[in-house]
Chains A and B, each alone.
Chain A
């Protein structure tokens, strides 16, 4: 093969240069909110965190998935996924304010709230207390950071040494790693989001977060890949075939998320038990109800119908629009899940709920762009590389884009 540089395009710098100041300014404005309304600040902050942490952690899941299954689609997004997992230290830093704000977020931090119900007393003693909450969060982050560290390290070592045994190592780690991912995300979602209402529970809640975090990560990666393929080096590597496969995976995850979310709704609706429907009641009335309907239509029905089309999946310009729609709907769905815990059926959105995800997103994107630019965009010494290139080209020759 000719000598080709697979370094990230210089255009990536522009993304960093724009995202960083924008994120910093918005984040600074958000901090003003901290002094105006502390409760609102922490709610909006948790909401923003639930979205961006989802992309970091979800990318870790996709990274392990592609190591386990192999395939061209996984190869072309690997470096993007790796960069996204390297934002996990940033997410750890951004998690600290949630511990500091636990008092404004979680009713179980208030002794008088706990005393209302005997069941809560025991629950708070054994599980929902701040010390254990912090210990558990430390465990989740330790697992995620360790998995991300090894997968990133072995990948760059393979770039340098061309040793194919690293592929096997990454695959072997990814099996148990994926199991750990599912369990840590489950318990993180219980701790961070479900316990906002400490008396409510649902056994599929963890799966809903597993699917939705993986979905938002995939939508993000598709968007990033669509932008990167405009420039060298990915221009010559990524083929419509890869977008086709990624689009299929996106469709599968959209359906999986919908399946989980609908199962939860139908079972709780049928049982009609007061302690269970209390979670849905404020969320299906008034403006929250309208959002719920929008989620059904725009998070499931539209993406589902669009993604059935073969030509749409093969066209990055169109696929990126669907991915964008899914990302916006992920935000809306998280807002719908988190905010009514505080507002009840009264619909209220603060300016902070708009500034927080944007500000945090600016910082996240700048960090991501910085990480992405540090390594070649293709795992050059991966044994799969040649066959992926060949495969892409042989299909490009007779495919209608």
Chain B
């Protein structure tokens, strides 16, 4: 596949160029590496980092209190025993999917436009998965025994239940985190070497030198590197589907009305990509402006990401239509009640807000003029991010709070500590992100060089 440079792949219609004209090998390297090595760290970076770091402390505080007092600290209780923790787990892990899609699937599809956003999107994936992973581990109540989740020979006679998708989650998410981290790191090696060679202070030379793992850029290095990168892309591709499919199984294999729906796997995967692209747009639109990266992250990227968002949003919309239609069509009393309860019950406000955020507002993306307006696109991405959070709230809470027996119905109210944990993970996520943009090249330098007109070779 790698030996076939050709440019008539999908999404070729956009006439806007992938990179702005006039860039050369040297200017690309200078521009990207200077953010890390030369430019003065801007004031907004310090402000943003400080704010994120403060919010991050909320997370540490919550976790400390949680470990001491137990998960009664959260608002979860029977009947809604899975509240904000699973909801935020699914929300965060969904966000990660865009990174993997951009870096792995678009690489296999030979989409050159991915090059300037893949590094950043992969970082976002890793940081989002880190937030997601915390929730189920903290929900264990005794997180120091998390290794019990793995099947290992022991004298206690415990063994995981392999029929449970929660068990599959352990493998799916840990594989996902591992492969994403490897993919990201391998992609960084040639750029680490560039930074090593350009860094002027000894500690940075040493740091980047260690990370570059002795990269010299010889032909043999490149040959092996390309092969390894392509193999990792192949490994990461099924993970885009498998992780969220298994997350959807967490719900769908149970028989709770509102959870037990066969449409869940594709609908969850599409929702994950939808939320992920919204987050990528939410972050890249301000970043490209602040660092003046318009010549790398062009309008073409914005258009393509908006289109992916529209397409996956439509699949999610299809999921809602199917849930509502089959709620009625199934003829099942409980299924019908579940849909009625979502639309008219105590949480109906969440349901209609979700329809507004996820289905109605994104239809503006059909219009090219609005897609080209970055402020509109940014606001739409924000709306979608909120909508996808609401979607998980509706699925988790409305299905559980009123199931088969009216005598066991109840309401769910997230506690203050639910919110501090959630806000804390947002703080942690941005803390990592701010460190990333300051200390690592947020755009892949060497891959950018390969898509410049200078890099074209006459065969």
Give the interface of A toward B (CB within 8 A).
Answer: 69-72, 117, 119-120, 122-123, 127, 171, 175-176, 179, 182-183, 186, 190, 199, 201-207, 241, 259-260, 263-264, 266-268, 270-271, 273, 275, 310, 384, 387-388, 391, 394-395, 398
- Measured between alpha carbons, how far is A336 from B296 in the docked complex, in Å? 53
Q: Which residues of B contact A179 (CB under 8 A)?
A: 314
Tell whether B332 is near chain A: CB-to-CB under 8 Å. yes
Contact between A259 and B241, CB atoms less than 8 A apart: yes
Given known pairs A70-B12, A119-B331, A123-B329, the reply for A186 and B322 (CB within 8 Å) is yes
Q: Which residues of A contact B169 (CB under 8 A)?
A: none
Given known pairs A70-B12, A388-B8, the reply for A263 and B266 (CB within 8 Å) is yes
Given known pairs A203-B261, A263-B265, A384-B8, the reply for A271 and B318 (CB within 8 Å) is no
Contact between A175 and B366, CB atoms less than 8 A apart: yes
Contact between A120 and B331, CB atoms less than 8 A apart: yes
Give the interface of B toward A (CB within 8 A).
Answer: 1, 4, 6, 8-13, 163, 241, 245, 249, 252-255, 260-266, 314, 318, 321-323, 326, 329-333, 366, 459
Given known pairs A70-B12, A199-B331, A391-B6, the reply for A266 and B322 (CB within 8 Å) is no
- Measured between alpha carbons, how far is A395 from B6 in the docked complex, in Å? 10
Contact between B10 and A203, CB atoms less than 8 A apart: no
Indicate which residue in B4, B241, B255 contacts A273 across the interface (CB closer than 8 Å): B255
Q: Which residues of A contact B366 (CB under 8 A)?
A: 175-176
Q: Which residues of A contact B255 (CB under 8 A)?
A: 271, 273
Contact between A182 and B318, CB atoms less than 8 A apart: yes
Among residues of A, the one whose C-beta sits closest to the C-beta of B323 is A203
Supplied contacts A259-B245, A391-B6, 15 more A-B pairs, CB within 8 Å: A69-B9, A71-B12, A119-B333, A182-B318, A186-B318, A202-B262, A203-B263, A203-B326, A204-B263, A266-B249, A267-B265, A273-B255, A384-B8, A395-B4, A395-B6
Contact between A263 and B245, CB atoms less than 8 A apart: yes
Indicate which residue in B8, B261, B266 contacts A259 across the interface (CB closer than 8 Å): B266
- Measured between alpha carbons, how far is A270 from B261 in the docked complex, in Å? 12
Q: Chain B interface mostly helix, strand, loop or mixed? A: loop
Indicate which residue in A122, A127, A171, A176 contacts B13 across the interface (CB closer than 8 Å): A171
Q: Name 23 A/B residue pairs within 8 A (Cβ), A-sorted.
A: A69-B9, A69-B10, A71-B9, A71-B12, A120-B331, A123-B329, A175-B366, A183-B318, A190-B329, A201-B326, A201-B329, A201-B331, A203-B323, A259-B266, A263-B264, A264-B262, A267-B252, A267-B260, A267-B261, A267-B262, A271-B260, A275-B332, A395-B6
Q: Which residues of A contact B330 (CB under 8 A)?
A: 201
Q: Which residues of B contact A119 (CB under 8 A)?
A: 331-333
Taking the closest CB of chain A, its distance from the CB of B332, in whole angstroms, is 7
Given known pairs A201-B329, A266-B253, A267-B262, the reply for A69 and B6 (CB within 8 Å) is no
Contact between B13 and A267, CB atoms less than 8 A apart: no
Among residues of B, the one whose C-beta sits closest to the C-beta of A65 is B10
Q: Which residues of B contact A122 (CB under 8 A)?
A: 331
- Measured between alpha carbons, how far is A70 from B326 in the docked complex, in Å? 35
Taking the closest CB of chain A, its distance from the CB of B458, in whole angstroms, is 11
Contact between A69 and B11, CB atoms less than 8 A apart: yes
Q: Which residues of B contact A207 (CB under 8 A)?
A: 263, 266
Q: How many A-B residue pairs have C-beta atoms within 8 angstroms? Tell me.
A: 101
- Measured between alpha carbons, how far is A398 from B330 in the docked complex, in Å? 57
Q: Which residues of B contact A266 (CB under 8 A)?
A: 249, 253
Contact between B241 and A391, CB atoms less than 8 A apart: no
Contact between A204 and B8, CB atoms less than 8 A apart: no
Taking the closest CB of chain B, its distance from the CB of A313, in whole angstroms, is 11
Contact between A387 and B266, CB atoms less than 8 A apart: no
Q: Which residues of B contact A395 (CB under 8 A)?
A: 4, 6
- Measured between alpha carbons, how far is A183 from B318 in the docked complex, in Å? 8
Contact between A260 and B266, CB atoms less than 8 A apart: yes
Most buried by B among A259, A310, A394: A259
Indicate which residue in B6, B163, B262 contacts A268 across the interface (CB closer than 8 Å): B262
Contact between A204 and B266, CB atoms less than 8 A apart: yes
Taking the closest CB of chain A, its distance from the CB of B385, in whole angstroms, is 23
- Measured between alpha carbons, how far is A71 from B11 in the docked complex, in Å? 9
Contact between A203 and B322, CB atoms less than 8 A apart: yes
- Measured between alpha carbons, how far is A259 from B240 in the docked complex, in Å? 13
Q: Which residues of B contact A259 (CB under 8 A)?
A: 241, 245, 265-266
- Measured between alpha carbons, how far is A388 from B262 in the docked complex, in Å? 41
- Measured between alpha carbons, how far is A190 from B322 in the docked complex, in Å? 11
- Measured between alpha carbons, how far is A391 from B333 in the docked complex, in Å? 59
Indicate which residue in A72, A206, A384 contacts B322 across the interface (CB closer than 8 Å): A206
- Measured between alpha carbons, how far is A69 from B322 in the docked complex, in Å? 27
Among residues of A, the one whose C-beta sits closest to the C-beta of B165 is A270
Contact between A387 and B264, CB atoms less than 8 A apart: no
- Measured between alpha carbons, how far is A127 from B13 in the docked complex, in Å? 42
Q: Which residues of A contact B13 (CB under 8 A)?
A: 70, 171
Contact between A117 and B331, CB atoms less than 8 A apart: yes
Q: Which residues of B contact A201 (CB under 8 A)?
A: 326, 329-331
Q: Which residues of A contact B249 (CB under 8 A)?
A: 266-267, 270
Instruction: List the 10 closest pairs (A to B, CB-CB), nearest first.
Output: A119-B331, A270-B253, A203-B263, A69-B10, A204-B262, A263-B265, A264-B262, A203-B322, A202-B262, A203-B261
Among residues of B, the one whose C-beta sits closest to the C-beta of A127 is B329
- Measured between alpha carbons, how far is A66 from B321 in the docked complex, in Å? 26
Among residues of B, the one whose C-beta sits closest to the C-beta of A119 is B331
Q: Which residues of B contact A387 (CB under 8 A)?
A: 8
Taking the closest CB of chain A, its distance from the CB of B312, in whole angstroms, is 13
Given known pairs A123-B331, A203-B322, the reply for A263 and B8 (CB within 8 Å) is no
Taking the closest CB of chain A, its distance from the CB of B67, in whole angstroms, is 33
Among residues of A, the one whose C-beta sits closest to the C-beta of B10 is A69
Among residues of A, the one whose C-beta sits closest to the C-beta of B269 is A259
Q: Which residues of A contact B321 (CB under 8 A)?
A: 183
Contact between B10 and A71, CB atoms less than 8 A apart: yes
Taking the closest CB of chain A, its distance from the CB of B234, in whole angstroms, is 10
Taking the closest CB of chain B, its distance from the CB of A388, in whole angstroms, is 7
- Measured between alpha carbons, how far is A384 from B323 in the docked complex, in Å? 41
Indicate which residue in A71, A271, A310 contacts B8 across the interface (CB closer than 8 Å): A71
Taking the closest CB of chain A, its distance from the CB of B90, in whole angstroms, is 17
Among residues of B, the one whose C-beta sits closest to the C-beta of A176 is B366
Q: Which residues of B contact A72 (CB under 8 A)?
A: 8
Contact between A391 and B260, CB atoms less than 8 A apart: no
Q: Which residues of A contact B265 (CB under 8 A)?
A: 204, 259, 263, 267
- Measured between alpha carbons, how far is A14 from B275 in the docked complex, in Å? 53
Q: Which residues of A contact B254 (CB under 8 A)?
A: 271
Among residues of B, the one whose C-beta sits closest to the C-beta of A75 is B8
Most buried by A among B249, B263, B323: B263
